[in-house]
């Protein structure tokens, strides 16, 4: 898959995270395609159950399976917490 050859700016949908080829969890993703083809092809956010998201943040070698079946390596940089009050 070469996201840079397509005329896609954003991707969003229901996806799956795979951690160490064993732990799997359903998430929602929202990604913006990076305009220059480099090792990073997209940046954005993923949301899912809090406990699973903590595993994702601490994992290495996680993969994001997009709604249409494409698989991307996942690297988490930072997490922001949203709260009421």
Q: What is the pLDDT of residue 27?
A: 92
Q: What is the dihedral of CA 57, 60, 65, 70, to 10 degrees?
A: 130
Return the closest-CA partner of residue 72 out of 7, 5, 1, 22: 1
Q: What is the pLDDT of residue 84?
A: 44
Strand order of the sheet with strand 10-19? 42-47, 23-33, 10-19, 63-65, 71-73
Q: What is the pLDDT of residue 33?
A: 86
Q: What is the pLDDT of residue 65?
A: 92
Is pTM beyond 0.85? Reply is no
Walk along the chain (85 residues) and give the pLDDT tens digit of each residue: 454 455 568 889 999 999 987 778 899 999 998 887 778 888 899 999 988 888 888 888 889 999 988 898 888 876 555 544 4
């Amino acid at each position: 898959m070469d996201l840079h050859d397509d005329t896609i700016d954003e991707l969003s949908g229901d996806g799956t995270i795979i951690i160490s080829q064993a732990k799997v969890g359903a998430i929602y993703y929202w990604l913006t395609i990076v305009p220059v083809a480099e090792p990073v092809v997209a940046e954005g956010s993923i949301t899912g159950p809090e406990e699973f998201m903590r595993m994702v943040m601490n994992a290495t070698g996680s993969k994001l399976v997009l709604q249409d079946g494409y698989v991307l390596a996942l690297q988490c940089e930072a997490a922001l917490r949203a709260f009421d009050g």
